[in-house]
Amino acid sequence: MEEDPLLTITDLRIEGRSGELWHPIVKGVNLTLRRGEVLGLIGESGAGKSTLGLAAMGFARDGCRISGGSIDFDGINLRTAPEAQRRSLRGKRIAYVAQSAAASFNPAHKLIDQYCECPVVHGVTPREQAEADAFELYRRMRLPNPEAIGFRYPHQVSGGQLQRAMTAMAMACRPDLIIFDEPTTALDVTTQIEVLAAIRDIVRQFGTAAIYITHDLAVVAQMADRIKVLLRGHEVEEADTRSMLAAPREAYTKSLWAVRSFARAERPPATGTPVVSVRNVKAGYGAVDVLKDVSFDIHHRRTVAVVGESGSGKSTTARVITGLLPPRNGEVLFNGKVLPPNFKVRSREELRQCQMIYQMADTALNPKLRLRELIGRPAEMYLGLKGKALDSRIRDLLALIELEPDTFIDRLPSELSGGQKQRIGIARALAAEPQLIICDEVTSALDQIVQEGILKLLDRLQAELNLAYMFITHDLATVKSIADEVVVMQRGVVVERGPKAALFAEPKEEYTNLLLSSVPEMDPDWLNRLLAARAGQ
Amino acid sequence: MPILLSIVVGMALFFMIGFVARAILQAFAPAHLKPTFRDIPLTASFGLSVILLYVVVAIFAPMIAPFGEGEVLGAQFLPWASPYYLGTDKLGRDMLTRLIYGARNTVGIAFATTALSFFAGSFLGIWAALAGGWLDQWLSRFVDALMAIPALILSLLLLTIFGTSVLTLILVIAAVDATRVYRLARSVAQGIVVMDYIEAARLRGEGMWRLVRREILPNAMAPLVAEFGLRFCFVFLSISVLSFLGLGIKPPTADWGSMVRENATLITFGDITPLLPAGAIALLTVAVNFVVDWQLHRASGLKE
């Protein structure tokens, strides 16, 4: 006999408010989830994944409302059930794990207090038993010192550990359903593996059903039994993981799969004076040396990717090159000439030659200035353009980044999408006509399809304008597609550097190998194989 | 009953003025301002028309007022009757005339003072936040020291040192007020200077003036404008207090603050004449804040 599904969502419609108007976010999605099954929800941002995930708890965010359809959880209609009944379900039978554990834990309470809150409030177990249970779950989540870690405050444990503690917390009442909303997106690849493995094991051990929301296909391939693809509030297709990966039916799904295929051949090695040469740099804040001994070169028309975990000193290196952080030791050469260590004493010409593109375009563009001024200012300042000449230069730049000048020139950043904002960041850097552009995680806040567009654009511009790129990233897929050379950093030291192809084919250092092998692959057996291989070592 | 009636009449006037002003604004606004006035709330159009009325009265005071500013015309405390429509004050000067001239002095001085304190306070505050280090320390500790002295005592001290004239009055109140504005501007700017776009502008080699004016100020505008609306009203208070102590606006120059005080005795006789200048201050305060609120909504991008 076919068992009743745990969760049935039929023709769900959710609307969000902007001003006086309600516009649809989720436009009639059906979803069924059996007990113990893991469903992966994927799609770009704005596809309605998170909204749908929250709706599975009978919850709509502020400014959103569920306007149609039904949500049936184990025989309870969550749309019509009274709020008190819904509240009694949340945390107890349906739990939620948020993207940023660091932002979701209350910083004023110890982890274990937050763990115990839910079982005690719902009257599932008394406090002592809940604590004992917490130790057990912390152990199963492979947290170090499971008996002690609960007595720390959230800021005293690392991001990966917090994310696992949060999953343990969600498990506290042994719910029937857990909703994971991008639980590993904010983590480094090496940490991601541990969290993924821990989540998957615990979900299987307790037979919990889960909805796993992510935009990372390779991650969902490891976690989910079935995958549902969403696009702008519609379902594109749904199938079990293996058949979906093997043979996607819809064009949109195929395009998602194809994104990872953009790769540029490595350019031949360059000779001559490098544009930038970092020599034995040692730098840090206060008493701490973030960079211990960093040296590398960047040549004309080449992209050097600097990779490493967070805290390895990638961004600090960029700050040394731009002059924001004068090094304690060592020097930075630009076209063979030593650059003054502090940007304040650099000449305007020296400043012009080295431009920067930031990770968060939202905070990198002044929200009150129009694009005309945002892009035009460097051109006006460095090149002395005025009036008509400036206007036509701004239009050229907009055309260069593939935005229609007449439509965009007088817009504010808030009137642009994430990808368009990042393009403006690029245009602003180009306006100065630099030789070197430092790209600090420029694609990591963007969807994969948008990322692809930005990478292709950067690549085209490099060929046209003879630029050198320093590409800071933790995403090795990006490195594979765009880099010529790779510099691997760990704890302030360059562990290994070399041409992309050679480094990916035969990493010499153990750390490089660990980093490379931690990048999720689309193969659903990848995580099993990797864990087996690592256990065997 | 009269209270109820006056509330009803007041509301009716409010709606009438609001609607009429909005219609006029929308009909005659220049093309580039049309979108600004399209969604103007009733409160803001009312506020704008009141401010406009005050400005007109202030500018054309000598033409509108029936008598001279300091002219003593007859008996003291005459009741409301022609030709003294609002009666006379304790020296027998025409109340209506003095109200009209008062608009000129009080509003003019209040506006000049607030504008000056905002210009100085916000520039210094943003500069301190931007430069940091010892400059920030020096400026901030200096301002702290000034703020530790009660505002009234400090202004009395300064006025005694520099002598009393309208100009010193403006400068002194502006200086005292600027300390409060400095604190606000600095704390707002501190949240802005850490943004990437400020770092980008610094790396571009932008000068201090440009950073303050184009990069930080537009983003700090909303809280500063809100504070402006509030400060503007407090200045009336400072002026009237100082006038009371003989260090503010000197008689026979009319100002609303002193007019309330001088004629306060009438209240005990059930005459509301002394409340007229107070009402004039209150109406302007409300009007200014209506407009400020509207601007705030627009600046913060809130649609509701």
Minimal C-alpha gap between B138 and chain A (Å): 22
Asked whether the beta carbons of residue B205 and residue A381 sit closer than 8 angstroms, the reply is yes
Residue B6: pLDDT over 90:
no
Interface check for A22 against chain B (CB to CB < 8 A): the answer is no
Average pLDDT, whole number, for chain B? 84
Does A1 score more than 70 pLDDT?
no
Please give the residue of chain A at the shortest CA–CA distance from B191. A363
What does the alpha-carbon distance between residue A384 and residue A377 come to, in Å, rounded to a whole number? 10
Q: Which residues of A touch B202 (CB under 8 A)?
A: 343
Q: Report the alpha-carbon distance of residue A257 to residue A216 in Å, rounded.
A: 10
Do residues A45 and A32 make contact, with C-beta atoms less than 8 angstroms apart?
no
Partners of residue A379 in chain B, C-beta under 8 Å:
none
The nearest alpha carbon in chain A to B207 belongs to A344
Is residue A457 classed exposed, middle or buried when 0-12, 13-18 and 19+ CB atoms within 10 A define those classes?
A: middle
Whether B179 has a pLDDT exceeding 90, the answer reads: yes
Chain B residues in contact with A351 by the CB 8 A cut-off are 203-205
Give the CA diameter of chain A.
Answer: 79
- In contact, A468 and A302? CB cutoff 8 Å: yes
Tell me which residues of chain A, numbers 321 to 340, contact chain B at a CB-CB cutoff of 8 Å: 322-324
Closest Cα in chain A, distance from residue B14 (Å): 26
The predicted pLDDT at position B48 comes to: 87
Do the chains contact at B196 and A358, CB–CB below 8 Å?
Answer: yes
pLDDT of residue B300: 65
Q: How does residue B120 score in pLDDT terms, banded at 50, 70 and 90?
A: very high
- The contacts of residue A267 (CB under 8 Å, 6+ apart) are A301, A302, A484
In this complex, the residue of B197, B205, B206 whose CB is nearest that of residue A363 is B197
Confidence label for A443 from pLDDT (cuts 50, 70 and 90): confident
Is there a contact between B197 and A381 if contact means CB atoms under 8 Å apart?
no
B21 pLDDT higher than 60: yes
- pTM beyond 0.95: the answer is no
B203: nearest CB among A18, A20, A343? A343
Residues of A in contact with B215 (CB under 8 A): 366, 369
Rounded Cα distance between B25 and B46, Å, is: 11
pLDDT given at position A238: 85
Average pLDDT of every residue of chain A: 84
Distance (Å) of CA A224 to CA A148, A529, B120, B128: 32, 16, 61, 54
Beta bridge pairs of residue A332: A278
Contact A364 B206 (CB under 8 A): no
Evaluate the CA torsion angle B262, B265, B269, B274 in order and state its sign: positive
- To test the contact with chain A by mutation, choose from B192, B197, B213 the residue with the greatest count of A C-beta atoms within 10 A, namely B197
Answer yes or no: are the C-beta atoms of A98 and A181 closer than 8 Å: yes
Contact between B219 and A343 using a beta-carbon 8 Å cutoff: no
* Dist CA A440 CA B299 (whole Å): 31
- Do residues B176 and B155 make contact, with C-beta atoms less than 8 angstroms apart? yes
Minimal C-alpha gap between B283 and chain A (Å): 31
Cα atoms in the 13 Å half-sphere on the side-chain side of A5:
16
Give the pLDDT confidence of A311-364 residue by residue, as tens digits: 788 888 998 999 988 998 888 999 888 889 888 889 988 899 999 998 888 889
List of chain A residues whose C-beta atoms are within 8 Å of the C-beta of residue B199: 324
Query: How does residue A537 score in pLDDT terms, banded at 50, 70 and 90?
Result: low
